[in-house]
Structure 1
Amino acid sequence: MVMWLSLSVRRLRLRPSPISVLSILSASPSSSSHRQNPSSDDDNFENSRLTTLGTLGAPTPLFTSRRALDLLSCYKLSLASISSSSGTVESGGSQRPEGGGKTQPTKSSSCWIQTFLPESVQPYALLARLDKPIGTWLLAWPCMWSITMAAPAGELPDLKMLALFGSGAVLLRGAGCTINDLLDRDIDIKVERTKSRPVASGILTPFQGLGFLGLQLLLGLGILLQLNNYSRILGASSLLLVFSYPLMKRLTFWPQAYLGLTFNWGALLGWAAIKEGLDVTIVLPLYCSGVCWTLVYDTIYAHQDKEDDLKVGVKSTALRFGSSTKGWISGFGAACITCLAVSGYNAELALPYYPFLVAAATQLGWQILTVDISNREDCNNKFVSNKWFGALVYSGILFGRLVS
């Protein structure tokens, strides 16, 4: 039996799944043959190494043997591992210890992706980080700020533009994650938080990731073409930042600043989509505020990986600032609030804007003062809380525009 399983695994490795965009959009017919609870089988699937299983790629009906199909059911274990925050939780209530060996029972982690999407689509959803929407919010808020600032006094913002930019944020953030994972796959496998990502773990091949990236960019182009010509040029120019950002951690200790330039491009684009031009007295302070905000939250976030980054040899502001982190991000936080005040003043927002801005400043100050940069979980929680900062700023801009 052991020899048979060994030969089956070898045959699986020698029969790679066909790669096409259609594999992204359609579920495998063999998925119905997968066992719902592979950990309860008589065969000891728990001890199969995820790195080996990850080389299977997307499941395809290439094998007639029931036993070969059973091996593919282990693919669920890899998906559960990816969806966990630590990258070590597996399905069936098991956890892989760092040193290998038998798994130990623990609380299982799951998300809507595993519940509602076909198995062949799940790795692509995870590649686009659809299970972690905070990045989409952080990308969308600057767009929504500028679109609302550009609205006529006393009127609601353009709802169509808000919907377009919201959809664009999902696509562009997903494309950025795909690019990042393709370029960093050799680094991600060495970092605890990222080693179970689909490309790094081998569940998706680089070619499959590249095909998915093409689909994401094609859909993004469809949204961009619905804007005016000025916005199309401005939006297309952001791709240079999107494609080059993953390389910055190899070149400079300030990749978070470069991320700020990339993530807040929507502050320029949202205004241009409404006004067909840029008012630098309004959008430039707004853009700068977003860059400073990104330096705050992504420096906090980077402290989760600082030990791994040192081992791998990549750079970050967390390593640059070290024990002086709180002083640096306090300065960036103050600059963020100041720039937001200047932008709102130049946009002639009414008085209700400023109480909301004070509340946003309080929320940002709470993050900075209370974050424990030596605690990974606290760094992540403070990072995620930035959605409330974005919401407070947006609420202020909305009310300030409606009553102005």
Structure 2
Amino acid sequence: MDTRITMSNLPACGVVSGGEAEDGAAETREGAAAVCKGLEGIPPPGGKPKATASQANFEEESQKQPAVGHWKTLMPSKGSKEEPETACQDAGGTDETQSTEQLNVSRLRSSSVEIREKGSEFLKEELHKAQKELKLKDKECERLSKVREQLEQELEELTASLFEEAHKMVREANTKQAASEKQLREARGKIDMLQAEVTALKTLVITSTPSSPNRELHPQLQSPSKAVFRKGHGRNKSTSSAMVSAASQNVTPEPVSHERKEVDSILFAEFQAWKESPTLDKSCSFLDRIYREDVGPCLDFTKQELSELVRVAVEQNTLTIEPIASQALPVVKVSTEECGGPKKCALSGLPRTCKHRIMLGDSGNYYYISPSCRARITAVCNFFTYIRYIQQGLVRQDVELMYWEVMRLRREMSLAKLGFYPSEM
């Protein structure tokens, strides 16, 4: 209940008549007394009911006569007694309003202080949280920065190692390329040289056969008086040295063209089968027959062990035959009985004048041989030389012509075995 008294609730002060003033004063005293009684039962805003000083003064003054001297009388009236009571009522209402406003202001101040304290605590908490998060983010940034630096360092090291490895590989590739190019040039030079040699060899094969050898290809076929003896162990392999002139070995035969010839079907079939895939393996029927019928008997000498060594050397193309000079070198390393001498043949063991000597492989031992033994060895060497030419593809003839050449070489071996040889040997 609003007990505040404002000036608008009081009667307006002014020029009134005397009766109206007395009536207004009485009403004012009654209203003031009622207001004071009502205020006594209403507690103040602080919560504790207590009487104020304005209420006590108001009750005392209501019992006294009002002071007329404080009002300005405009005209004589009987309401002059009401003016002091109106002033007292005005003062009491103003004090109450001020106290109420002061209480409201104190309430607002206490509320604002409390709000400020709560807001300050909240802001402090938020600030503390933000500082913690900032510290965590700083640590995370520092960790990521270290990781980035480490990755950059590893990347630099890896890049450097890759470049170094690439340079190394390039250097090695350049070195290998240079070496390969050098080898290629050398190989091409060797190929050109070998092609020239093959061409020359083909030309010599065409112009030189066992029946009519080329003396430029075989200088050892020259007469012993014109041959120059070389000191030391200069040697010629059986591929070339054993190709001795058949004309110098054989009794002058009739020309082949004047002879009557007939191809043996069995021998020709064996030769054709061998010609399809030429080989030096004596297990094939063609070579097996020639070994049994010609090569074996032709190289069968009195000294069996030395005969076997001669046969192996002829097959492996490691036999060397060379003429003996008028003053032969002294024989060393083996006894004279084993390797013979200028007056004794090492293969037959018979006392014969030896004009040639042989060496088997790289043994360094020389064996003196008689003209008959030399004819037999050279006949076998001529046969093996010709079939090697066929195997290597150097003979470009008809199959029948090659067959007859093989038959002629077989005849030469048979004649040498029987003891026919040229006197100049």
Q: Which protein is bigger by CA-based radius of gyration?
A: 2
TM-score of the superposed pair, with normalisation by structure 1: 0.20
Q: Which has the higher contact order (CA 8 A, sep 6+)?
A: 1
